Amino acid sequence: MKSIRVGIIGVGNIGFAHCSCIKNGRIKGMTLAALCDIDGEKRRKLANDFPEIKIFEDGDELIRSGLADAVIVATPHYFHPHYVISALENGVHVLTEKPAGVNVSEVVKMNGAASKSGCVFGIMFNQRTDPLFQKAKEIISEGGIGIPKRLVWIVTNWYRTQSYYDSGSWRATWNGEGGGVLINQAPHNIDIWQWLFGMPSKVTAFCREGLYHNIGVEDDATIYAEYDNGASAVFITTTGEAPGTNRLEISGDRGRLILEKNELRYTKLQVPEREFCFTEKGAASTPAANEFVYKSDNPRDGHELILEDFASAVLSGTPLIAPGVEGIKELSITNAAFLSSWTGKQIALPLSEENMAEFDRLLNEKKAAETERKNAPASETEKYTYIKRWSVSW
């Protein structure tokens, strides 16, 4: 097999972009075989645009049709675990959009299905392909910052207007997507945080709902996390600040990384700080250091790279950049952050069964209390291309 036959379930903004990219032959190892959307109007448009492609109303039918070796799940988040499990149980490889789901309890089941299946399971954490994050990963993996001490990420340039929130009835609702900035925009950053710096063991958070928009979910969040080795992390995000900032700083006892304005600045200490602290006689002198600067020029779109990486994993067994089972890590931080904010408690990770159940119960309460938001007519989909707001934005 030189190319895998791919079906796409959920052909909205991102689904359209994946669809067109594969159809136009931009993805090595993938051929478009089938599409599915529950929206009849969208299916009519798709049938018009892609007359040779079979269009389904039901994702499970597409999966069972035998037309696709693999599916991409690009529906709203709540449906991700269902279609991933359905694909894996039917021997169909699957690449899900981020986040892995909304409830960690559902994603545990999804990962259980993945461990039983022999299929490839990936997740669209496209920002992992960014050259600066890749370089940071390499430096950290080689011990370049030494023992991790602190991560501080202020990513407040996920700016969204009210019109964005009004553009889809599922957006920014507890019933439609189970949260706001933490579940929609920030999953990319939270994944990069845990991918570079590891998983914290305790999370405390403050999520502010409808601070800047007419929405009932959070559009502003601050997470403080602690690690078993004494390291800490602070993560601040919002969709309500302009111009906004994207600045990631990671420090350890041997160095520091700063990522900002499309540049990675690595400061390497000549002597580890812990050693310097107890051997240096000067009271306020600091360890000597060397600085290295890396820039990123016009990298290829990360979505395309993840699609190709997934095809290669199916065709040749190469390891995935973003294995699907790792989606639970990012979502665990998010669920813990919500639970902390809702209860005022510090939440331990990995999430206990009790905490998962408590999260599910409180989210259900929020869903039940939600009143339907009036939406403006949906704006025309920015079809067929990966739009800039989905890539790393410095």
Choose the binding region for ligand NAD from 70-78, 85-93, 155-163, 227-235 (rule: CB under 6 A): 70-78
User: Least separation, in Å, of the C-beta of 264 and ligand NAD?
Assistant: 21
Which of 29, 166, 390, 392 forms a contact with ligand NAD (CB under 6 A)? 390
> 70 near 93, Cβ under 8 Å?
yes
Nearer to ligand NAD, 57 or 228 (CB): 57
Q: Is residue 181 involved in binding ligand NAD (CB under 6 A)?
A: no
Which of 23, 93, 98, 256 forms a contact with ligand NAD (CB under 6 A)? 98
Q: What is the largest CA-CA distance in the chain?
A: 77
User: Least separation, in Å, of the C-beta of 327 and ligand NAD?
Assistant: 11
Give the pairing type, strands 148-155 and 4-9.
unpaired
Which of 18, 23, 77, 256 forms a contact with ligand NAD (CB under 6 A)? 77
User: Tokens at residue 191, please?
Assistant: 């994944």
User: Tokens at residue 78, please?
Assistant: 């709540």
User: Tokens at residue 51, please?
Assistant: 């007359």
Q: Nearest Cα to 259, choosing from 225, 289, 226, 296?
A: 296
Nearer to ligand NAD, 13 or 375 (CB): 13
Q: Is residue 75 involved in binding ligand NAD (CB under 6 A)?
A: yes
Which of 35, 81, 93, 97 forms a contact with ligand NAD (CB under 6 A)? 97
Prior bond of 81 cis (ω within 30°): no
> 242 near 159, Cβ under 8 Å?
yes
Site string for ligand NAD, 122-151 (x = CB under 6 A): --x-x-------------------------
Nearer to ligand NAD, 12 or 255 (CB): 12
Size of the site for ligand NAD (CB under 6 A): 25
Q: Is residue 217 involved in binding ligand NAD (CB under 6 A)?
A: no
Which of 21, 33, 34, 37 forms a contact with ligand NAD (CB under 6 A)? 37
Catalogue the long-range contacts made by 128-131 (C-beta closer than 8 Å, 24 or more residues apart): 128/191, 128/192, 128/195, 128/302, 128/306, 128/321, 128/322, 129/299, 129/300, 129/302, 129/305, 129/306, 129/309, 129/321, 130/296, 130/299, 130/302, 130/391, 130/392, 131/294, 131/296, 131/299
Q: How far apart are CA 291 and CA 6, in angstroms?
A: 45
Q: Is residue 334 involved in binding ligand NAD (CB under 6 A)?
A: no
What 8-state DSSP symbol labels residue 180? S
Choose the binding region for ligand NAD from 20-28, 69-77, 210-218, 317-325 (rule: CB under 6 A): 69-77
Q: How far apart are CA 69 and CA 66, in angstroms?
A: 7
Nearer to ligand NAD, 39 or 228 (CB): 39
Binding site for ligand NAD (CB under 6 A): 9-15, 36-39, 42, 59, 74-77, 79, 97-98, 124, 126, 168, 184, 390
